[in-house]
Amino acid sequence: MHATNEDSAAIPQTQHALQLIGPSQLKLNTAKDVHLPGPHQILAKVEAVGLCFSDLKLLKQFAEHPRKSQVVSGVGPDVLDSLPSYAPDDKPTVPGHEVVCDIVAIGEGVTRHEVGERVLVQADWRFVRTALTNGAFGYNFEGGLQEYVLFDERIVIDPQTQQRFLMPASRELSASAVCLVEPWGCVENSYVNAERNTIKPGGKLLVVAEAGHAIEGLIESFSPDGRPAEITAFCTEDVQRQSLTDAGLVFSEAESLASLPDEAFDDVVYFGAIKETLDVLNDKLAIRGIINIVTAGKRIGQPVSVGVGRIHYGLTRWIGTLETSAADAYKTIPPTGEIRSGDSVAIIGAAGPMGQMHTIRTLCLPMENMSVVATDMDDARLESLREKVQSLSDERGVPLRLVNTKTNPLDDRFSYFALMAPIGALVADAVVHSLPGCRINIFAGIPAPTRHDIDLDTYIANRCFMFGTSGSRIEDMQIVLDKVTAAQLDTDLSVDAICGMAGAADGIAAVENRTMAGKIIVYPQLHELPLIPLKELPAKLPAVAAKLNRGMWTKAAERELLKTANER
């Protein structure tokens, strides 16, 4: 260690940390070791941590969670063996991935990070691979529900892009506003993620044609960047095979659809309208695969079992056309999932923590002639949402309606749906209530194996587009950080409660039981502070409550909290 922001003697030998030691087994450790950094390591002091519903998946699954498993590539075992915060499999770990911290010490081999930097953690370390996914901060690498975290610079820099996973952040912002950039980045990604709108160059293409359907528009659907590397065909008529040959396409023929491997094709182009065939083709889509249904005006006539869970977790996409050309359907794919001017937006499950973010983001958009309906099934949560967003609606002149769908079922039609609850029936309902050109943002993580019957006739006729994303990238977080820094977005609007280490486990329980409508912020340096909803601050911490803005969390309130706590 060659540089510190604190006198090395001021860095304690032990710390308070909330450790996950087994499935659903949280332990507050008041004497966890603080490790000084090795040659390539970085020690950072945690300022604030946001609690996330994703923490519950780790809580329940522990060693069975794909991101808790051992790293198999991307970084060498020598790096991992030298890093005490690497905690794969059944080793105790520290959850918490929505983190802002200060770098207080670095090793002599650290070149891209400096003592004194305030950094926001991008938790998804995609080049560090496990058997099924990738390594992540707060999973197989200890997260932020502790006072100090230890990183290795060889892990927190992407070797391909050279981007830092520890992103510099302004000290002009509250710690809470910065740590909440991470979940807001996931929200942002769902709107700005670029969508593929051609057959994948270099990919695997499956062409299936029913009797009486001509194969048209394949060549026109190829990317300017190249053709697919492999083409497999399952045709029922010789004329269909001949059309592929006449187009100069080299292909292999499948004996049957059932004989084809599952999750193997980047594109499936289906010329037909038979439910049973579509039920089988659902399973053939690879990750990020697109299925294109070319009906030539025919109706399927009954719902189709669609893998709605894979739309979010596998980034699969469904498109279709009533025309005869496959190329027509690819035109329905938007460049991104962004809301458009003139959209009538329905945010389903809007009063929960992530739904609040979607609602706030939507109301802050510079779009014209937009309207928003935000739904939930709890009046108290809806009222909490109203307190946060009504002023935004009024200031921007965006019509906003809050609806309890438990007592007032929603029967309107919309051009944009954002779905916050992991329920397949909501996807089906969105299709039924879609306007032409409807975009359906499946934000909630419906379990990947989940299938649900979808009215694809309406979906295709209305040229709908279902999409979903999982997680965020550095680019998404930078967009949000820039918005917050420029005062275009206030992430603190989503805060509902605060606590120190003493209240962290209660905070996770509150997330699990959905007793808080918004986000919970943990300040690890405050050992004894229990979980306190903002509405209880006037009675419990009146000096802090006096710094709120219309009941909302602020930098001034955070400063007063830290000051008050330090004086106690």
pLDDT score, position 567: 59
User: Are 214 and 240 in contact, with CB atoms under 8 Å apart?
Assistant: yes
The CATH number of domain 3-171, selected from 3.40.50.720, 3.20.20.70, 1.10.10.10, 3.90.180.10? 3.90.180.10
pLDDT score, position 56: 87
Whole-number percent of the chain with pLDDT over 70: 98
CA distance 430 to 530: 41
Which residues, 6 or more positions from 78, have their beta carbon under 8 angstroms from its beta carbon? Answer: none
The bridge status of strand 414-419 relative to strand 434-442 is parallel
CATH 3.90.180.10 boundaries in the chain: 3-171
CATH 3.40.50.720 boundaries in the chain: 204-333+427-467, 344-412
pLDDT tens, position by position, 216-247: 999 999 999 999 999 999 999 999 999 999 99
Residue 3 has pLDDT above 80, yes or no: no
For the structural domain made of 204-333+427-467, what CATH number should be given?
Answer: 3.40.50.720
Averaged pLDDT for residues 80-91: 97
- Concatenating the DSSP letter of every residue in 304-373 gives EEE-HHHHHHS--EEEEESSS-HHHHHTT--SS----TT-EEEEETTTSHHHHHHHHHHHHS--SS-EEE
Query: Residue 2 — very low, low, confident or very high, per pLDDT cuts 50/70/90?
Result: low
pLDDT score, position 470: 84
Query: Residue 133 — very low, low, confident or very high, per pLDDT cuts 50/70/90?
Result: confident
User: Are 354 and 519 in contact, with CB atoms under 8 Å apart?
Assistant: no
pLDDT tens, position by position, 492-519: 999 999 999 999 999 999 999 988 889 9
User: Are 122 and 141 in contact, with CB atoms under 8 Å apart?
Assistant: no
Cα torsion 446, 452, 454, 460 to 10°: value is 50
* More reliable by pLDDT, 223 or 470: 223
- Give the E-state strand segments of 458-508 in sequence order: 465-467, 495-499
Averaged pLDDT for residues 330-340: 97
Residue 1 has pLDDT above 80, yes or no: no
Averaged pLDDT for residues 385-392: 94
pLDDT score, position 97: 96
User: Are 206 and 269 in contact, with CB atoms under 8 Å apart?
Assistant: yes
Averaged pLDDT for residues 178-189: 95
Going from the C-alpha of 249 to that of each of 228, 265, 542, the distances in angstroms are 10, 17, 74
pLDDT tens, position by position, 394-425: 999 999 999 999 999 999 999 999 999 999 99
Task: Report the CATH fold assignment for 344-412.
Answer: Rossmann fold (3.40.50)
